[in-house]
Amino acid sequence: MSSHDDEHGTGPRPGQYGQPPPYGGPPYQPSPSGPSAATQGRPYGQAGPPQYDPYGQYGSHGQYGPYGSPAAGPPGQYGPYGPGSVPARPTPVVVAAVLGSLFGALGALVSLGLILGGAVLGALVEDLVASDPSVSATDPGEVAEFTDAAQVFAISAGVVALLWTALVIWGSVRALTGRSRVPLLVGGAIAVAVTAVPLLAALSGLASGGTGGAEVVFVLLFFLPALAIVVLLCLRPAAQFYAAHRARRAR
């Protein structure tokens, strides 16, 4: 051996031929292809973008947009079978439904009074005939005929009023929920027609001096709310409200 070999030794150097490096550190293995293209040209100490293995990446359905938003589209959008927004009730519809409920409560009282009054009318007439001599002098057949006619009229009017009451209450519920405004419109129109007759009579009596203004005001308390039901349900906000509900049910 030469003096050069004696000076430096002939044994393997640390880190060569599979020997572990000193202090137990991992062996340095340079990349066979050299530095990657992502790290070339970058200043020392600056980290490049993270690299991921193509295997295991999410597909197009698992990708997310910026700031964590799904890539499928902005939130809050529904397809043709998604839940639709419920239209808000406009003020005319709410007021008309409340007025219809009030008319329904009043109609229930009137119909109950008419039916009960017709049922007890016969007994009342008999007591009147027995207590009043002027009435007892009347032909009993005529009294009985008049009593029967009055009973039939009162009970029939009570049944009709009860049917109208049911129509108005049912129409108020359907109008408030957006199902239909037709039943409440029909009930309101009937109320307008019924209250218009005594209103015209009161106005005629006021013009001739036979009645005062109190009768006209009393009839107006029933006529104006009935007219308001019809007018409010015919306004444009109410029409749009029911059109939106029809379109929502047609989906």
DSSP conformational letter for 38: T
Q: Determine which helix (DSSP H) or strand (DSSP E) holds 246, and give its type and residue range.
A: helix 236-249
What value does the mean pLDDT take over residues 172-182? 94
Nearest 10 degrees: CA dihedral of 176, 182, 183, 188? 90
Question: pLDDT value at position 143?
Answer: 72
SS percent in the chain: helix, strand, coil, step 5: 65, 0, 35
64, β-bridge pairs: 70
Distance, in Å, from the CA atom of 226 to the CA atom of 188, rounded to the nearest integer, reads: 5
Distance, in Å, from the CA atom of 182 to the CA atom of 180, rounded to the nearest integer, reads: 6
If one compares 3 and 190, the residue with the highest pLDDT of the two is 190
Instruction: Find out whether 112 and 191 touch, Cβ atoms under 8 Å.
Output: no
What value does the mean pLDDT take over residues 4-12? 48
Residues in the chain: 251
Question: pLDDT value at position 85?
Answer: 66
Lowest mean pLDDT, pick from 65-74, 75-84, 109-118? 75-84
pTM higher than 0.75 for the full model?
no
Instruction: Find out whether 117 and 159 touch, Cβ atoms under 8 Å.
Output: no
Instruction: Find out whether 129 and 100 touch, Cβ atoms under 8 Å.
Output: no
Instruction: Find out whether 99 and 181 touch, Cβ atoms under 8 Å.
Output: no
Kindly give, in sequence order, each residue whose CB lies less than 8 Å from that of residue 115, ignoring residues fewer than 6 positions away: 154, 155, 158, 159, 162
Distance, in Å, from the CA atom of 62 to the CA atom of 72, rounded to the nearest integer, reads: 9
* 22, pLDDT greater than 80: no
70, β-bridge pairs: 64
What value does the mean pLDDT take over residues 54-58? 49
Distance, in Å, from the CA atom of 134 to the CA atom of 150, rounded to the nearest integer, reads: 20
Give the start-to-end residue ranges of the domains of the chain: 91-249
The pLDDT tens digits of the residues spanning 199-243 come to 999 899 888 877 778 889 999 999 999 999 999 999 999 999 999
